[in-house]
Structures are given as structure tokens and as C-alpha cells.
Chains A and B, each alone.
Chain A
Amino acid sequence: MSGRRVLVVAITVAALLAGVGASLALGTIDVPLREVIDSLLGRAEEGPAKQIILQLRLPRTVDAILVGAALGVAGALLQGALGNPLASPDVIGVTAGSGFGAILILLAFPGSIALLPVGALVFGLTAATLVFVVAWIGPDGGGAGRLILAGIAIAALFAAGTTGLMTAYPDRVQSAVFFLAGGLVSDGWDEMKVVWPYFAVGFVLAVSLIRPLDRLALGDDVAASLGTRPRLIRLGAGGAAALLAAASAAIAGLLGFLGLVVPHVIRMAGGTASHGFVVPVSAIGGAALLLAGDTLARTVKPPLELPVGPFMVVIGVPMFLWLLRKAV
């Protein structure tokens, strides 16, 4: 690995560690660092401080790490599989589908709020499945162009459904704004218990796709001559990205920006498009970015906790534009 890539890995790992530290140590209530450490090591006495660290901040930190990593990986997989720099979970309809599922629960069944992650997951995966089915059937199915166009159409369908729900239940729309803007919530481990298997399968699939995606980057014909099946790789990458993005939406709402930008930043900073580098480092970078954004979102105007989406954009866009300018 070149010195530049080692430096990028070192910086992202350092950012991740700093993010974890900040996420655990900072919040509305001042908890002395000593008590934070004691709580994590199981040495703290029972009380509010221990409860805040172990039942509120720790699950939220883990949520941020997993969601950030998942979206970074999902973006890297899709950009690699579709050969399109604009690819992100939005493109395969997952974001719109998850949004519809969550808004359906929030607005039509507010008494069943526990079903929110299930709704986001089910409809996110349904949208992705529809996209794949539409893109794969008929002659010349499975091409990147068809997949993207099918994704745009299905996403529009679910977005229209979401708008319809918001029109039907206008008095409850306020409760959905936080989800649509994207944000983590201090609510313990409940949602993670529902979605962790989807993260696990998505990450395992992503790791198994690293080499095939590198071959696919050489072009479909070359990849096929090397024994790789381009359509199958695209399907696998799309499936993994759908699992990761739907599980992320179930926990943190709609944070499409992260999946789009982080892989680009990593690719430009590392000076390589190798998936062996881009996929894992996007995971670390995505986690670090979401941790930073979330810590800002809940400490900038305490006790209010603001949606994290805009904060990630504030942090990520200048970095992205700076790298883009250098790359050009």
C-alpha cells in the first residue's frame, strides 16, 4: 500500500476514534470523563450518569458507526457495480422505499411506532427488489443503464406515495420531518436488535464482492473473460447495498448524501479506485463522518437534538469540493 493510502487510512481511523470519544463524552448533560470510562468498564455506580452513557450514548454511538459504515459501503458498492459516479442508495430506490415505509408507520399507524424500523426495512427492500426485477426482465436485462432508470422510476413511485401520505395526514407531518431530514435518536438498543442481521449479511456480501468489483471495473467484456459474471456481480452489489441502506434508513432516516460522497472522498484522497481500499476505508470514513455530524447535531443547541443530515452536509460538502477541485 502506498504511503498516501496509509496516510488516508490513518487519518480516517484517527477521525473514527476521535468521533467515538466525542460521541461518548459529549452530550446535553456533562458527564466527567472519568465516569464515562468507569461506566464503559462496568465500574460506575448505578445512577443517571451510568444510565446516560450505557443506555443512551453507547447505543447511539454504535448506531452511528454502523449506519455511517453501511452507507459508505453501499455507495462504494453501487458506484463500482454500476460504473456511475452518481450512484448511491437513492439510485436503486431503497431510500425512497424506506422513506415510504417509515412515513406509513409514523403517519398512518402512530400507535405502532415500534414497527418503524420494520416498515423502513420491508419497503426499502421491496423497492430495491422491484428495481432489480424491472431492470432484469426483457432483452438486454441487467445493464447498468437499465438499473439506474428503473431505480429512478421506482423511487419516483414511492416518493409519490410518501407525498400522498403526508397529504392524507397533514396534522401528523411534523413527526415525520426528523426522519426525512435524517437523524439518530437516543432510544437505546431496540431498533438495532431488529436490523443487525441485515447489516451483518450486507457487510459479509460487500467483503465477498471486493475482488469481483475490481474485475468489473475493467469493463463487462474483460470481466467476463476473467471468469466474472457482470450481471450477477451487479445483482449481488445491489442486493448488499439495498440491505445496508434499508437497515440504515430504519435506524437513522434518510441520509442519502453520505452514501454518495464518502466513497468519492476516499477514492480521491487515496488516489485509487481499488475496491480493496475504497470499500473498507469508506466504511471507516462514513462512520467517522456520521459520528462527527451526530455529535454536532446533539451538542450545538442543547437540549434540542437536531437532525444530523444537514450537519453531515456542512461537514462533508466543503471536504468534497476541496478534493474535487484538487482532482480536477
Chain B
Amino acid sequence: MSRAATRAACLAFVLLAAALAAPATADAPKRIVALTPFSANTLAALGVKPIAIGQTLGGDANFAPSLRRVRTLALAHPNGPNMEQLASLRPGLVLSSPTWTRGNRTMRNLDMRVEVPEPLTVLDMYERIEDIAAMVDRERGGRRLVARIKREISRATRALKSRPRVMLVLGVGRTPYVFLPNSWGGYIMQLAGARLVDANAESRSGFARISDEAIVDADPDVIIGVPHARAEDLDGIRDYMRSNEIWKLTQAGQENRIYVWGDDALLQANLDVGSTISRVRTRFLKNR
């Protein structure tokens, strides 16, 4: 082989190797807006920085530290984000929520690519993570992230010593709703070893309105209140839950096992399932 031919062959080999090694990002959207904490945190875990993230009005969602400096879009009914603001960002991909069905339609009319990869329970979270990873061309990272979360959950759910009857109560203001097994928090509670008390309520949304009387009638061993309100109103609802005289009539009340959850980890999809389960078991179920 001549010297020129050898050089050409080497050059071709180097170019081929470089092409194979580089991430195939040609089709991956560059300007991504993530309107839910789950999609924003998934992107962050995959090493992708969105150009904007959504935060509901008065909300206090937990975001990954790498998202702290990312622009925030206020979300409010009926559309979700302000459409003018969103259009001005020229997003190549919007990761939205079923809550903003009306806004999603408008975004599509504005020629935006809109996907709704929001899981309802831990069971469909893995698939949603892989969906997001595929959208941003990080399939391998997605698989690794899923494997990591599964490992964390497996560690957190080991050696259950007891399975107390737990009622998880969402406090929208002073109105109680019970978490059902098909809710995010309800499913996590079962993974943590709780026998979820749902007072025979059913709802596709995962939450059902319940009366204080029904809570007393169900008589759970543990009550965990999850306040849902504007940040400035949370303390008042926490106090109300802790001092609810009717709840104190239950087994949970008699044994001082009425607790109040502090953040949104039981309310909406997030990647820290393992640590949430550990917190639930250690602080509330005491079944380690």
C-alpha cells in the first residue's frame, strides 16, 4: 500500500471512529422547556439543561440544583404557561402535563412539539424516563437512570418489619382527600410497607374527597397529612392537621401517630423515590 493510501485509510478510520463515538444529537431538540418537576429533573439527571422550567402559581416544587439558574415560567389555569412568553422562547420541545390539556393544544397550534411524559405512579415512571431520554437522544443515560432508581427502591424496601394501616390524607385547605393506591403517594406508601387505608373510595384521579367521619370510621394506625396550598398558607394547614381533634379519635391519634409531610415528594412524580420511601419508613412507619 502506498503512503498516500495508508494516510487516507488512517484518516477514514479516525473519521469513522469519531462519528461513532460522538452522541447522535443531530435530531435531538436543542431548546427544551420542561413544565413539570418530573420532566425538568429527569432532563437534569440526563445531563440536559432545559431553557425554561415551569412552576405552578404559589407552588414550591423541588428542582435539581443544576436547574437553579434556569428561567422559570409561572403556570396557571387555563393554559399553563403564558403563551406569548413560551412562543418567545422558540422551544424545540415542550414537556408538558395533562393538567394543561388546553394549553397543549394551543402550543401544537403554534407549531411546537409537545410531549406529555408524566407518570401517574412509580410503575410507569421507568417508561416515561426512557421516553424522555429517547427524545433528547440520551437512551443510555435513561437506562442507567432507571437502573439506579430501581436499585435505590430495592434498597429502601428491604426488611419490612411491620405493615401498619396508613391513611395518607391530602389537605386542600382544610378539606381532606384520601390518597388512593393509584396515586403517586399512595403507591409509594405501599412500597414502604404500608397497608393503604382508602375508606373504599375510588377515583381515576388517584384522590377522593373524604369526610373526617370516614377517617374516624377507617381508624388507621398512622395518619400522614400532606398539605397542598400556596407556600404562605402551608404552616396554617400543617397546624390544622396536627391539632385536628376528630382525627385524634383514631388509633393513630391515640398513639400520637398523626404526622405531617413536609414537601411535594408524595404529591407529584419525582426521581427520589428511594429516599422518599426511606424517609417514610424511618420517620412515620417505623418498620425498619
Contacts and interface: CB of A to CB of B under 8 A. Distances in A.
A128 B229 CA distance: 39
Interface string B204-219: 0101010000000000
B82 A303 contact: yes
Contact of B84 (A52, A110, A113): A52
Contacts of A302: 82
Nearest to B89: A48
Contacts of B77: 174-175, 177-178
B74 A186 contact: no
A292 to B, nearest CB: 19
Interface in B80-118: 81-85, 87-90, 98-99, 101-103, 105-106, 109-111
A29 B85 contact: yes
B74 A304 contact: yes
Contacts of B106: 185-188
A51 B111 CA distance: 10
Contacts, number: 90
Contacts of B74: 303-304
Contact of A28 (B57, B85, B101): B85
A259 B99 CA distance: 32
Interface residues of A, number: 32
Contact of A186 (B57, B73, B76, B84): B84
Contacts of B57: 304
A171 interface: yes
Contacts of A190: 105, 109
B78 interface: yes
B209 A56 contact: no
A294 interface: no
Given A113-B102, A186-B79, A304-B76, A29 B88 contact: yes
Contacts of B102: 113, 116, 185, 187
Contacts of A175: 77-78, 99
14 contacts: A28-B85, A51-B87, A56-B83, A56-B84, A113-B102, A170-B175, A171-B172, A175-B99, A179-B78, A185-B78, A187-B79, A187-B83, A303-B74, A305-B76
Given A55-B109, A111-B101, 4 more contacts: A27-B84, A177-B77, A185-B79, A303-B85
